[in-house]
Amino acid sequence: MAEYDVLIKNAKIVEGTGKKAYKGSIGVQGDKVVALGDAKGDAKRTVNAKGLTATPGFIDAHSHADWTLLWFPKAESYTMQGVTTFVGGQCGGSPAPLGEYIRLPWPLMDRLPDLDPFKFYPKQPYYPLEQANEWMEEIYGWTLDWEDMAGYFRKVEEVGVSMNYAPLVGHGSVRTKVMGLDYKRHGTKEEWAEMREHIHEAMKQGCLGMSAGLDYDPDVFAAHEEIIDGVSVLKDYEGVYCPHWRRTGRRRGVSAGHVPNEKITALMECVDVHEKTGVRLHYAHMSTGWEVHPPAPDELEAANVKTTLDMITANSKSELDITWDAIPQLTRSGFATMPYLASLYAPWLRELGGLEALGKWLKVKDFREEVKDAIRTGKWFIRVAYNPNTAPRWAENIMVLKSGVPDISGKTIAEIAGERAADPWDTYFDIIAEDPFTRGAT
């Protein structure tokens, strides 16, 4: 009988322990690695991994894949990158509990401009579950037929998926279940009690903790005391609290002159929750506590990082009491792939019908000013780092990847504007007018 199901030979092995990479072999039985480094013996299947690297499966510590998992159960975009586990239910949003009103799942959101046309934002933040399921049945032939996390887990198991899924319950989803569309206020004590019951239920059903989306509806309207009350439930289950902390404030109505939240204050707000509940804290997409303008030299940013981490962990009793994940901004499009330079101006793409039409109309001065005015007054929100209302150096954060316009590919909007001796915003629009199909990245 074969000693291994799979024997991988001649691989460059990275263990993930800090040990240097080395050449070796790996023996696999069933779904477990049983020999590492110098595996010898017979195998049902032998793989020659010469020239390839073998690593442990990567874990995506911050993911929203749970809302697309039933549509893409093989999760090819993950598995082809070596990701084998994701932590879902982030930023306050989980696939359950479901109530009378729900946030539409992302595949349905992609179709919403045709299902219920809008220019800037959907007509309502949450749609009746009944309406969502009419669309689901019509388009996909199945419905959101679960009520709680246990029901969702059964659906996932029924479909079958290729990933390991570590679930969080979203405080925003719980809040929507309890408060429906009447969420732009602090919850009552009676509503807090109902939320606690839903959190208890989700934890008993297998969730590892709870997330919150403190920049997003509906959690942005929750009182600090409401968050503490909900997080306190996790203590009974040794759960973890994973907040999308108040980095920017509510991402609506961000007009010229907007003053963003103080990040260090927002970070310490989460520490207060940890200290008052005794529940482990894990920050989603951690960043430094202070914005430094103009962009700082490495030494100053290093001090910013150290001071931030020293402050948030000052009273933690162990290294695992307070942890965090961060977006690896090693390449362009680390957070938002455009893919076209014009993609940030989606309302006008929807209104005009496409890239060519937008490029044509951006040659018209009155139209261009109308678009700028919509941004200045906060009618349309562009992410903070590349929003002219919130980032004085926004044009340095957008790069042209590929364009039919000569000599601009690989340059930032700021660099192109400097070469043209022109205003960066007008330069941005000029490029789209000259080649609407210009590819960009943030």
CA distance 309 to 281: 13
What pLDDT does residue 330 have?
59
- Tell me the per-residue pLDDT of 239-295, one tens digit each, with 9 for 90 and over: 999 999 998 777 777 777 777 789 999 999 999 999 999 999 999 999 999 988 887
- Tell me the per-residue pLDDT of 5-42, one tens digit each, with 9 for 90 and over: 999 999 999 998 899 999 999 999 998 999 999 998 89
What pLDDT does residue 331 have?
53
Closest-CA residue to 410 (of 429, 438, 382): 438
Compute CA distances 355 → 345, 406, 429, whole Å: 10, 19, 12
Longest C-alpha distance within the chain, in Å? 78
- Tell me the per-residue pLDDT of 352-389, one tens digit each, with 9 for 90 and over: 999 999 999 999 999 999 999 999 998 998 887 888 88
DSSP string, 5-34: EEEEEEEEE--SSSPPPEEEEEEEETTEEE
What pLDDT does residue 293 have?
80
CA distance 96 to 50: 45
Q: Which residues contact 24 (CB under 8 A, 6 or more apart)?
A: 11, 13, 36, 37, 38, 39
CA distance 10 to 50: 5
What pLDDT does residue 228 have?
98
Q: Which residues contact 429 (CB under 8 A, 6 or more apart)?
A: 362, 368, 371
Instruction: Check pLDDT > 80 for residue 160.
Output: yes
Instruction: Check pLDDT > 90 for residue 329.
Output: no
Pick the CATH number of 4-56 from 3.40.50.300, 3.20.20.70, 3.30.420.10, 2.30.40.10: 2.30.40.10
- Tell me the per-residue pLDDT of 109-139, one tens digit each, with 9 for 90 and over: 999 999 999 999 999 899 999 999 999 999 9
Average pLDDT rounded to a whole number, residues 90-105: 97
**Dihedrals phi, psi of 316, to nearest 5 degrees:** -75, 145
Q: Is 41 helix (H, G, I), strand (E, B) or coil?
A: coil
Full-prediction pTM beyond 0.85?
yes
pLDDT band at 1 (very low <50, low <70, confident <90, very high): low
| Secondary-structure percent of the chain, ordered helix, strand, coil, rounded to 5 | 40, 20, 45
Numbered ranges of CATH 2.30.40.10 in the chain: 4-56
CA distance 267 to 289: 7
pLDDT band at 4 (very low <50, low <70, confident <90, very high): very high
What pLDDT does residue 233 have?
98
Q: Which two tokens stand for residue 280?
A: 């482990």
Residues written for the chain: 442
- Amino acid sitting at position 115: L
CA angle 133, 137, 139 (to 5 degrees): 115
Compute CA distances 321 → 210, 239, 299, 314, 324, whole Å: 15, 11, 28, 11, 10
Superfamily of chain region 60-98+146-324: Metal-dependent hydrolases (3.20.20.140)
- Tell me the per-residue pLDDT of 171-222, one tens digit each, with 9 for 90 and over: 999 999 999 999 999 999 999 999 999 999 999 999 999 999 999 999 999 9
